[in-house]
Every structure is written in C-alpha cells, then in structure tokens.
Amino acid sequence: MLNRIDPLRLLALTLLALPPLALAALGTLWLWERDALLYWLAGLLASAAAGYGLQYLLQRRERRLLAEAATEPNPDWSPRAEAVWRDVEALASELEPADWPLDDSARLMELARLTLEQVARRYHPQADQPLFQLTVPHTLLILERASRDLRRDITEHIPFSHRLRIGDLLRLQRWKVTADQAFLVYRMGRAVINPLDALASEAWRNLRDQGTGIAQAELHGWLLRAIVRKIGYYAIDLYSGRLPLAEGDPTAAPTPRSRADLAQGAPGDAEPLRILVLGRTNAGKSSLINALFGRLVTPADTLADTTRGLIPYRLEREGLTQALVIDTPGCDSAWLTEERLRAAAADADLILWASPAHRPDRQVERACLDALRAAQAARPEHRPPPLLVAATHVDLLRPAREWQPPYDLREPSGPKATNIAAAVAAIAADLAVPIAQVVPVALAEGRVYNVDDGLWAMLLDQQEAALRTRLLRCLEARRRAEDWDLLRRQLIATGRLLKALPQRLKAPRA
C-alpha cells in the first residue's frame, strides 16, 4: 500500500496537517496540566452524541424523501402486468451497489438490459431471445421516458443535484481513495504517539463515517433501484399495450366500435364507458335500462327474445362519465352464442347482470358467467370489467301481496325482507359473485325500488374500475390503429423512394 502512495502528495498532506496536529498536541498537554482533559473528553462525547443524533434525524428525512420518490405500480395495469412488476421489484431489491458502480456506463447499460429482459421474458416465454421482440423505436421510447422521470425525481428529491456535475463526483471519488490511504498511515502513527487522543478521535470518526457511509450507500442503492423500476415500468407499459408511439390521451376520441354505436344518436367527443347488460330472457334487462335512464328508452321484455342483436343507448347522467348502455338478447337465446358473448364482453367496461330473484333455476346463468370468466382468464393482459348483479323482481317474492319498501336487509324484520335477503344470498352463491355486488331491485311500473339509492350508487362506486378497463381497451385499439397507420406511411415512403430511384441512378456523379 505504501508503494502506491505518491510521496509528493503525502508531503503536501503532511504539511497541511502539521499546524492542526501541533495545535492538538499542545492543547492536549495544556488540558492535562490543568486537569481538564476529562472534562474536554466529556464535552467531546456530548458534542459527538448530539451531532450524531442530528445526523440521524437528517438521514431519516432523506430516507423519507427517497421513499416518496420511489416508482409505484400503475393501478390501471392488468393482472399480468401486476405480476411482472413484482419481478421488477424483486430484481431492484437484490441489487448490491458495489456490483453496479455509477461511473461505469457499460455496467449501467447491462442493468438496463437485464431489466428489459426480465420483463420481455414474461411476455414472450417461448422466445429464445425475448429481448429481440422489442422494436428499435419502442426501445428508444422506454429509455426516453425512464430518463425523463429519473431526471425529475433526482432534481426534486436530492439536494443540490442541479449544481452537482458528474465530473465532480468522479474527482471526489479519486481524491477520497488517495486521502484514505494517506490517512491510514497517519492514524497508525498517531495511535503510537498519543493513544488517548487517538482513541477519542477514532470514536468520533466511526460515528461520523457510519452516518455518511449509510447515506452514500442508500443514495447509490436508490439510484440503482430507480433505474430498474423506471425502465421496468415503461417496459411493462409497452408490452401490456399502454405505451403507443403517439402521444395524447387514448380516450379522447371514440374507438371505431363506439363511433359506429354512437352514429345512431349524437356523436360523442370522447370514448364512452361501455356498460353491457346481460342476463337470461325475461330477466328484466330492458326494464332495468329504462330505470337507469329514468324514462322509457327500450321496450320491456314481455315476450321471449324481443331484443335482437346488441342495441346501444347513450346515457348521460350527473356523476357518471358519458356511457353507452348496451341491451342484449338473453344469454339463453339462440342469437347470443358464446363467441358473440365473448366479443361483446371484450368491448365492455362494466357488466350489469340481471338475475330474477323469484327463479331459483340459475344453471344457465352460471354457465354463461363461467364462460365469461374463462375468456377473461385467458387474457391476463387485459383488466376484466367489474361485474354488478341486479336481483330483479324482488317484489314478486312471497308474500307477493306485501310491498311496503324500503326494507332493511342487514337486520330484516318481517317475511318480505327476510325472503329478499335470502334471495340475494342465494344469487351470490349460485353465480359465484361477492354478495356485496348483488343489489336487489324492483322494476315494475309503480314499484321501482332501489335503483337510484342502491344500484346507481353501486355503479358510481365501480366507475373508477370501469374507467381503468376503458383505458386499456382504448390503448389496445390505438395500438392496432397505430400499427396500420405506420405500415401505410412506411409503404408510401417506400413507394416514393422506388419512384425516384431511377432518376437518382441516372443523375451524373460529380
């Protein structure tokens, strides 16, 4: 180690250290002669303890600032994206700062590659090189977004980062290595000359270095974790269809499907919520839609299969984003095949299921719902729409002649309330849905019950989840449109190049 120390640098450090060393030695002798050395040591320890306590509080504040700057998963992600994010978090938590120096750009690029590969492997498990499935523009977009967010986090949460240069960090690191080597020689000599003073100084140095060492290690680790999380975040956005090349809100304009549905009425400016009303024949689907609108918009199901095809109705009501309520034939009808049912549910942001409370035979409904759940499970990259069940015809439950709402279903009193509560529990069990998602309603003329107070309140409560489903649906539609638009523009550019190629070949060379 001594051979690696520059003699001239050591001489410079020694000359600089001589005055304070002489002062320390003379001061220690003066304190010893006046029997004040122990008081001085006590004051030194008290000051060290107070300084360490203050530094500990500052570190806690810095840790809190860094914790606030941590990248969080997006609540709009699909179940598959949430599972991939857990892999990214595991990779970030396993990083050792010593293995990833910040001044080694090659290692940092390797860390970015590992993160992208971690995400790509989950979306392309069969590919030998899953990272090769990433296009060049999307790779640049991920790095661009991650760098932008990381710059903002560093600027807002690390003090004086806007004045600190990379060169300053590297120069400080090199000076620190040289100074540490020279200081080690000085400490060994000091321990021989003045053991008592060396012991007190070593105690103070350990307290001080423990604090600064922790702060440096935490900052280094935070930067590494931030890099992994930012790159992983946008890689997940890309593979889950949430990161198109074009900027802008994907819900700002209607999708082609909603544009065709809105053509029946006044066109909308934005993509509406798509509320799909399902249920068996004569379950009260059309009556339920009329009750939601507060007026007659669709004929009630007085005959079997009166609804042919999917019929959209535009709903605008205070508190709810503009919506399309889509009436459907019964799930037991010949028209609504399993393929059509899956396609309609794939374009839905919320499913409202009508189940008659006075009919215990729900095998057809359960089979239809199980088919929907299986289709949704096969698409883990999509967020399934929330499901609400309206238990219709509760006014027909026994005793049929009694009808004196409202009824308290939490603590039912009387046979009618008891039977309504039992019917709600039976529907929840038969259809395998949480009982909190089953709302009892009555839809007969003059007997409309619990639509505004119960069902409408539940719809508004599920609106946030429905908006997240709408976002993913619109992003997928934009990605499909973007792929075709890019292909069209690339073909046009290629055609122009081929058209101009003969003239370029004929042009005389200089």
Alpha carbon of residue 421 to chain centroid = 38
pLDDT value for 38: 84
Does the domain at 256-470 match CATH 2.120.10.90? Answer given as: no
What stretch of H or E contains 200?
helix 195-239
pLDDT (tens digit per residue) in 7-32: 777 777 778 888 888 888 888 888 88
CA 321, 327, 330, 335 torsion: positive or negative? negative
Question: Which stretches does DSSP call E strand in 134-177?
Answer: none
Average pLDDT over residues 164-178: 54
Phi, psi of 79, deg, nearest 5: -55, -40
- Going by pLDDT thresholds of 50, 70 and 90, the confidence category of residue 103 is confident
Pick from 440, 430, 369: nearest CA to 403: 440
Residue ranges matching CATH 3.40.50.300 in the chain = 256-470
Average pLDDT over residues 252-280: 82
pTM (predicted TM-score): 0.65
Average pLDDT over residues 480-505: 68
pLDDT value for 260: 84
Alpha carbon of residue 95 to chain centroid = 21
Question: Alpha-carbon distance 142 to 123, whole Å?
Answer: 16
pLDDT value for 207: 45
CB burial of residue 78 (10 Å; 0-12, 13-18, 19+)? buried
Edge-first strand listing for the sheet containing 438-440: 311-317, 320-327, 273-279, 350-356, 387-392, 438-440
Phi-psi region of 393 (alpha: psi -120 to 50; beta: other; left: phi over 0): left
Residues 6+ positions from 239 with CB-CB distance below 8 Å: 81, 84, 119, 120, 122, 123
Q: What percent of the chain has pLDDT over 90?
A: 29
